[in-house]
Amino acid sequence: MIREKHRYLLVEYNNEMPQDRTAFSKTLHKEIMSCFGQLHYFKGSFRIMEFPSGNFFIIRSSLNEYENLIRAFALIKRLGGDDAAFYTLRSSGTIKALKQYLSKMQKDAEGTE
């Protein structure tokens, strides 16, 4: 049996991250499904893995469907009745690499202030 390969995306959400992360996740999954259709949605096996800090989250996708996920984030303009924008900052094969990139990015931002 061949193991399915995944890709992880570091995404920034432009609004305040809600306290109820499961409701946010469910709403986001519904929007992604409306952009993709059911076939590509289920092939993608999308899952929010972590909320490392602030308005950032890490989402997992299958290797074959991660480009469609990036396109879906560009198309989503409303989430749960509020205006929304998602910015895909980086993709990687590991969560660790994305966390390192995020911490480096935040240190650089603190240094410029």
Domain 6-112 of CATH type 3.40.50.720: no
Residue 113: predicted pLDDT: 61
Per domain, the residue ranges of the chain are: 6-112
- Name the CA radius of gyration of the chain, rounded: 14
Cα 1 to Cα 18: distance, rounded to the nearest angstrom: 39
Residue 11's pLDDT band, with cuts at 50, 70 and 90, is: very high
Residue 101's pLDDT band, with cuts at 50, 70 and 90, is: very high
CB count within 10 Å of CB 57 equals 22
| pLDDT tens for each residue of 21-75 | 888 888 888 888 888 777 777 777 888 899 988 889 999 998 888 888 888 888 8
Residue 110: predicted pLDDT: 80
pTM of the model: 0.86
With CA atoms as reference, report the closest residue to 6 among 47, 34, 35, 39: 47
Residue 37: predicted pLDDT: 78
